[in-house]
């Protein structure tokens, strides 16, 4: 083979070389359809999917978490938790029946992640402790180039991130460094319509504080809820994520990104914040979000 032919061969090989991705998620209303589609489209790159156990004992279990939420936020947070997490969890075991009734069993977006991964031959693990020995062993066996978290509710320690050759990246539905924390769309809803956006950043020891790799402000409908904002921003982030993953695959490295000042952490809202949102006619969730949660296994 001549030099030109060798060059073409190397280019083709480079183009088809796939990343080995360990995907860590908490399957819930905000990310479910986007992540399912991501798995279907990039299943040839995904070597492990870690599904966070939202009711893990180390986090107090369901009872302990509810007690904390009620103590901090009061009963006003319950509809948000039910629509985003509770209802999807309850309905997930019924997916085979609802899919059959709706004729949607062949659609990745309507298929729970564990079932979809089983069809595609991708290993899944339930994650009780992302920094524990069991998860470390799963990552060593999978030998990923990259850890990707996309709506994941556990904080990775540096030693865990280091188990991926290139490190890790996270998708955050907020305009970092503002709105660091688990519910950025609630804080953006409070701060105003120009504060919604999506950020991709490196995983780092501090929460949502790694170098920013890509970021886009997103103008959302005036009547958007915090729940619907999270759904729309995760969907918007998919194209951003594909571009970034393709860049990493082509270059063999995560871009340097840009560092930003670390701003205050934004936790779940307290009673005062929820009362202020209510006075201003701003909603965490509504009937349309409830319907979306009920239809996660439908077309």
What does the pLDDT read at residue 62?
A: 86
Assigned domain for 109 exists: yes
Assigned domain for 11 exists: no
What domain range includes position 290?
Answer: 18-294
For the whole model, what pTM was predicted?
A: 0.93
CATH number at residue 249: 3.40.50.170
Q: Is 228 helix (H, G, I), strand (E, B) or coil?
A: helix
What is the DSSP secondary-structure string of 227-261?
HHHHHHHHHHHHHHHHHHHHHHHHHTS----B--P
Assigned domain for 165 exists: yes
Beta strands in the chain (DSSP E): 21-25, 46-52, 124-127, 146-150, 168-172, 197-202, 212-217
Assigned domain for 10 exists: no
Assigned domain for 5 exists: no
Confidence of residue 15 (pLDDT cuts 50, 70, 90): low
Please give the tally of structural domains in the chain.
1
What does the pLDDT read at residue 29?
A: 98
Assigned domain for 7 exists: no
Assigned domain for 250 exists: yes
- Whether pLDDT at 5 is above 60: no
Residue range 163-209, pLDDT digits in tens: 999 999 999 999 999 999 999 999 999 999 999 999 999 999 899 99
Residue range 220-277, pLDDT digits in tens: 999 999 999 999 999 999 999 999 999 999 999 999 999 999 999 999 999 999 999 9
Assigned domain for 1 exists: no
């Amino acid at each position: 083979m001549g030099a030109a032919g060798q060059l073409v061969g190397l280019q083709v090989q480079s183009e088809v070389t796939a990343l080995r991705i360990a995907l860590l998620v908490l399957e819930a209303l905000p990310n479910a359809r986007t992540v399912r589609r991501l798995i279907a489209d990039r299943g040839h790159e995904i070597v492990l999917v870690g599904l966070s156990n939202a009711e893990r004992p180390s986090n107090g279990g369901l009872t302990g978490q509810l007690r904390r939420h009620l103590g901090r936020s009061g009963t006003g947070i319950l509809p948000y938790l039910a629509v985003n997490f509770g209802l999807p969890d309850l309905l997930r075991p019924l997916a085979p029946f609802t899919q059959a009734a709706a004729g949607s069993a062949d659609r990745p977006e309507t298929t729970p992640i564990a079932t979809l991964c089983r069809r595609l031959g991708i290993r899944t693990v339930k994650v009780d402790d992302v920094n524990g020995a069991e998860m470390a062993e799963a990552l060593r066996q999978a030998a990923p180039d990259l850890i990707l978290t996309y709506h994941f509710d556990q904080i990775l320690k540096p030693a865990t991130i280091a188990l991926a050759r290139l490190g890790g990246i996270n998708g955050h539905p907020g305009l970092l460094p503002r709105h660091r924390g688990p519910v950025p769309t609630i804080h953006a809803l409070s701060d105003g319509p120009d504060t919604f956006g999506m950020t991709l950043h490196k995983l780092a020891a501090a929460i949502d504080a790694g170098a920013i790799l890509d970021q886009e402000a997103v103008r959302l409908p005036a009547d958007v809820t915090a729940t619907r904002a999270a759904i729309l921003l995760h969907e918007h982030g998919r194209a951003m994520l594909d571009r970034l993953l393709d860049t990493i695959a082509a270059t063999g490295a995560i871009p340097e990104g840009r560092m930003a000042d670390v701003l205050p952490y934004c936790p779940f809202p307290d009673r005062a914040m929820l009362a202020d949102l209510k006075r201003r006619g701003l909603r965490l969730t509504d009937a349309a979000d409830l319907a979306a949660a009920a239809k996660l296994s439908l077309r």
